[in-house]
Structure 1
Amino acid sequence: MSAIFYHDENQKALAEETMQKESGGRKRPIQTKIVAAERFYDAEDYHQKYLLRQQRGLFNSLQLSQKEVINSHIAARLNGYVGGYGSPNKFEKELPNFGLSVEQASYLNQLIGRGPMS
């Protein structure tokens, strides 16, 4: 089952409107449910930024606290790049904002297919 969770009536209306637009012209109805968001539970620590954690050397070199792993925008962006989401060109543009060492940046460039930094 897939679901869209909403927090207020505005989000609910937007979800319903989007579902209606997307339903037009389809042979089968969309099965996604629109449901009020209730209590949210963070995943266990070892699931947080899972793909980034799999690059142990890089992950350890970032020296992030558990709170930073969960809340850091940069950790989220790096997790996406490590997982193959985002182009090498996009990474190159964002790189100055990450505050990475030359070694960290070089490793990430290799992971996402750009090759070593010059």
Structure 2
Amino acid sequence: MPGVIRTRVGYAGGSKDNPTYYSLGDHTETVQIDYDPNRITYEELLNIFWDSHNAARPPISVQYKSAIFYHNEEQKRLALESKSRREAEQDITILTEIIPYTEFYIAEDYHQKYYLTNVPDLLKELTSIYPDSDDFVNSTAVARVNGYVDRNGSIENLKREIDSYGLSPAAKQRLLAMAALEYN
């Protein structure tokens, strides 16, 4: 998705220090998104968030609740406005919590880039390019490939930027073929 620099899976919103998947405390699983506001706006990210899940479904636990963690008053205002607008448009009560950001704890490596883990050949190639787990998780190219594997983004954008990912010709063909199947 143009403008998204990187994504990381982790935990936020709770009081426990250094949570893990098996010792989560009162944290919620979440995704942290670094983005370029000159290429994608916070409002656009909010629209993607609302379109990506059923925000009216009651959470099964604190771990899996729907939440937006805002970093400043402007983000809070925009999140509340977008929530109200969606409720009015869809005639529903949205259960998403809008919470001040305090701290984000990155999840264990095996939680990162989930969709990519289902395509072993692409995963293997990208881990050879980014053998350090922090570099892998923080890579824009890896975030993009993970997104395309999950059918996010357009084939046009993929074709425009695929050469910047550092993939071999075979891996490029594989990703383009997967995208072509989805978008046709």
Could you state the TM-score of these two structures normalised by the residue count of structure 1? 0.81
Residue 58 of structure 1 aligns with which residue?
122
Q: Distance in 1 between matches of 2:154 and 2:79?
A: 29
Structure 1 residue 17 displacement after superposition: 2.1
Q: Which of 1 and 2 has greater Rg? A: 1
2:179 is the alignment partner of 1:112? yes
CA root-mean-square deviation: 1.9
For the Cα contact (< 8 Å) 1:6–1:34, is it kept in 2?
yes
CA 1:110–1:39: 2 relative to 1, 3 Å: same
Q: Distance in 2 between matches of 1:7 and 1:71?
A: 20
For the Cα contact (< 8 Å) 2:125–2:167, is it kept in 1?
no
2:72 is the alignment partner of 1:8? yes
Structure 1 residue 48 displacement after superposition: 0.8
Residue 42 of structure 1 aligns with which residue?
106
- 1:96-107 correspondence runs (5 A): 96-107=163-174
CA deviations over 1:54-75 (Å, ceiling 9, x no partner): 3222222221121122100110
Could you state the TM-score of these two structures normalised by the residue count of structure 2? 0.55
Residue 149 of structure 2 aligns with which residue?
82
Q: Distance in 2 between matches of 1:102 and 1:50?
A: 23
2:132 is the alignment partner of 1:68? no
CA deviations over 1:23-53 (Å, ceiling 9, x no partner): 3354332222211122211121011112212
Q: Distance in 2 between matches of 1:76 and 1:14?
A: 25
Q: Write out the 4+ residue segments of structure 1 that deviate beyond 6 Å after TM superposition.
A: none
Which moved further from structure 2: 87-96 or 101-110?
A: 87-96
- Equivalent residue letter for 1:56: P
Percent identical pairs in the alignment equals 38
For the Cα contact (< 8 Å) 1:48–1:69, is it kept in 2?
no
Structure 1 residue 11 displacement after superposition: 1.4
Structure 2 regions of 5+ residues with no counterpart?
Answer: 1-64
- Equivalent residue letter for 1:14: L
Aligned residues: 114
- Equivalent residue letter for 2:91: K
Q: Which has the higher contact order (CA 8 A, sep 6+)?
A: 2
